Chain A
Amino acid sequence: MLDIKGLKVKLEEEDKQILKGVDLHVEAGKVHAIMGPNGSGKSTLSYVLSGREGYEVTEGSASLLGEDILDMEPEERAAAGLFLAFQYPVEIPGVGNMTFLRTALNSQRKARGQEEISSADFLKLIREKAKNLQIEPEMLKRAVNVGFSGGEKKRNEILQMAVLEPKMCILDETDSGLDVDAMKLVSDGVNALRDEGRGFLVITHYQRLLNHIKPDVVHIMSDGRIVKTGGPELALEVEENGYGDILNEVA
């Protein structure tokens, strides 16, 4: 599904190397988690994959279903099936949440040569998806993320994921700012989307999200590299001993 090879990335503005050679392979149907201390490059990886400006790839490659994505525009990556659930969802005053979602969905469909979805079908689709995430109809009418609580913003991200049905989902610190109930809701939303054809990359600082979204593979990232890979037990190890022990061990 997602293949990252020897990816090295620096900031465009300053000559600072953030990713120093990342290798990662996420298979369809699997959930991979990336854990790591702050500043290890986890979020940068998600931004680079989704096409945010300000980063320069100096070496390596990333492909989705065999297609090189690094030269694609962000919207082309989205149409190809990549989705990033933002750590900090952006507020967009003046753009209604429904308009936003329908425009996004139709843009992707158009890009893939599919017919646009009708207003009636879209309404039906969104009502059903919103209900599962306990999103009130009123939230759909409001401007995108404007005045949303932290939990509402994250639920809104998952709603977008559910509507857009991407092939590869990257969740960047989706647990940050969530209380226990909200985390359960968001996790249920993610778990509902797990299937054979879809890959997940869950980026998190803490192990607690992984109690709800059970990973198949756990990677530890540090200083721009993946330094250790293992099963779910690796996350528990972090939970018990912190990152210090693991990092000392690989150093």
Chain B
Amino acid sequence: MAKAAIKQQKAEATEARLAGLTLPESGAWAREAREAALERVRSMGLPHRRDEYWKFTDPTSLTAEEPPQASVFETGEPPLFDGVDRLKVVFVDGVFDPEASDDLSLEGIEIERLSEAMAKDIHWVRDLYGKIEGASHEKVDRPLAAFNTAFATDGVVIRVTGKPSKPVSLVYLHKSERSDAILHHCVKVEEGAELTILENGPAAARFSKGLEVDVADTGAFHLVRAQGRDHERRAVTGTFARLGRESTFKTFTLTVNGVMTRNEAYVELTGDEAVCHIAGACLGDGRDFHHDATVFVTHDAVNCESRQVFKNVLRNGATGVFQGKILVKQGAQKTDGYQISQSLLLDDDSTFQAKPELEIYADDVACSHGSTSGAIDADALYYLRARGMAKAEAENLLTLAFVAEALEEIENEAYAEELRERLAGWLERRRDRAAG
């Protein structure tokens, strides 16, 4: 198909999708922000299968008018982070649930619902909402992120002024098989302040989430999230961050199950000596599993460090995708950039596609990237079996060990251990299923 024809087709498809939608009610500044985002969607066009950035992931189900049905999965397990002392904020199918949530007050932060903030004429979040997302299209179009900014119906905005004693825990419950949730959160971490957000749950049949984080000088932000265990759910998420001097930004994402996941991250290191770690692990079983981690880190200051660590375990025809880029702008000297994406393919049917990229305009930097995919190490497996472990047990132990490297990126050991235990359970259930 010719380029012009694709463009035409994209424009038509975009208009058709937007035709039935109206921007949610909001105050003046928010209306402006939404309209600007909508304009971005129009000018970029919704993603098309032929788009380079969507080469490995078919966006059709993410842009379709109606989300495909997704049954609700009862895990029979206690919810993740249940034992953690936290400020719980619950969304059911993308709608804030005040009954199930804690009182939104915690020393060191100001937190309120997005809709409330948007109804106000004057609000600090005006300078953040849609701003980092809006800046993220410089090199690559992210129309679904702009779409999220335009149409988000709920979310939280958090201003972090101190060091709260506990994390904010966003709990996303999925109860309706046709729910189509669009959430957008904004977090502003003031100078020297610190916040950890825990996210957990499938959220909806189809979930679009935007998270914009502005970390001021010497601030710190941590995100540990797990995307639930629902098999049929779809999710497209965008994490956008801007980092000030000597600030820290670390995220870890665990994805198990789900027919479609596209997690994008876009981080700008704009202050000297900022640190950014983006890590993830995904475990997929079956032909219907598709997971895509797409990361873009821009170094625009000196002496900054960035790490991308992704581990995928794929079996029975599952598909994993990694697109990771490190962009080092002119003058971003002494950049230390690292990127690794690895997949453990437990059979010949599973697929991992990786597109690691470096684009460097400074001459005094250390950047490296690597990507591997392979089977379980035969020597290690033999060694464990020779010591008495059954094959499936040895495979699980080696698989957990493989994923452990990504889990180690989580600073808080208790959270890491909790996720590790869930992973072990996931592997064990599959082992038992395989054993019949």
Contacts and interface: CB of A to CB of B under 8 A. Distances in A.
B401 interface: yes
Given A75-B390, A75-B391, A104 B401 contact: no
Nearest to B401: A94
Contacts of A50: 386
A89 B386 contact: no
A65 interface: no
Interface string B381-397: 01111111111011001
A94 B385 contact: no
A104 B402 contact: no
Interface in B381-436: 382-391, 393-394, 397-398, 400-402, 404-405
B82 interface: no
11 contacts: A74-B386, A75-B385, A75-B394, A78-B387, A92-B398, A92-B401, A94-B404, A95-B398, A99-B397, A104-B388, A107-B387
Contact of B390 (A84, A95, A105, A107): A107
Given A95-B401, A103-B393, A53 B388 contact: no
B378 interface: yes
Nearest to A54: B378
A92 B389 contact: no
A90 B380 contact: yes
A209 to B, nearest CB: 21
Main secondary structure of the interface of B (DSSP, over half): helix
A164 B387 CA distance: 8
Given A50-B386, A78-B386, A164-B387, 9 more contacts: A74-B382, A75-B391, A90-B382, A94-B400, A95-B401, A100-B384, A103-B393, A104-B387, A107-B393
Contacts of B380: 90, 92
A211 to B, nearest CB: 28
Given A93-B401, A94-B401, A94-B404, A75 B383 contact: no
A94 B389 contact: no
Contact of A90 (B379, B389, B401): B379
A195 B390 CA distance: 28
A92 B385 contact: no
Contacts of B400: 94-95
A108 B385 contact: no
B363 to A, nearest CB: 34
Interface residues of B, number: 22
B263 to A, nearest CB: 24
A31 interface: no
Interface in A69-92: 73-75, 77-79, 84, 86, 89-90, 92
A86 B397 CA distance: 20
Interface of B: 378-380, 382-391, 393-394, 397-398, 400-402, 404-405
B401 A107 contact: no
A51 interface: yes
Interface in A5-41: none
Nearest to B402: A94
Interface in A99-114: 99-100, 103-105, 107-108, 111
B394 to A, nearest CB: 8
A52 interface: yes
A79 B379 CA distance: 19
Interface residues of A, number: 29
A207 B383 CA distance: 27
A73 B384 CA distance: 12
Nearest to A92: B380
B375 to A, nearest CB: 13
Nearest to A109: B388
Contacts of B389: 75, 103-104, 107
Nearest to A47: B382
Contacts of A90: 379-380, 382-383
Nearest to A163: B387
Contact of B382 (A53, A94, A105, A164): A53
A160 interface: yes
Contacts of A75: 385-386, 388-391, 394
- 4 closest pairs, A vs B, by CB? A94-B401, A78-B388, A104-B387, A108-B388
A74 B405 contact: no
Interface string A160-174: 100010000000000
Contacts of B378: 53
B138 to A, nearest CB: 38
A64 to B, nearest CB: 14
B235 to A, nearest CB: 28
Interface in A170-219: none
Given A90-B379, A92-B398, A94-B402, A79 B388 contact: yes
B308 to A, nearest CB: 19
A86 B380 CA distance: 12
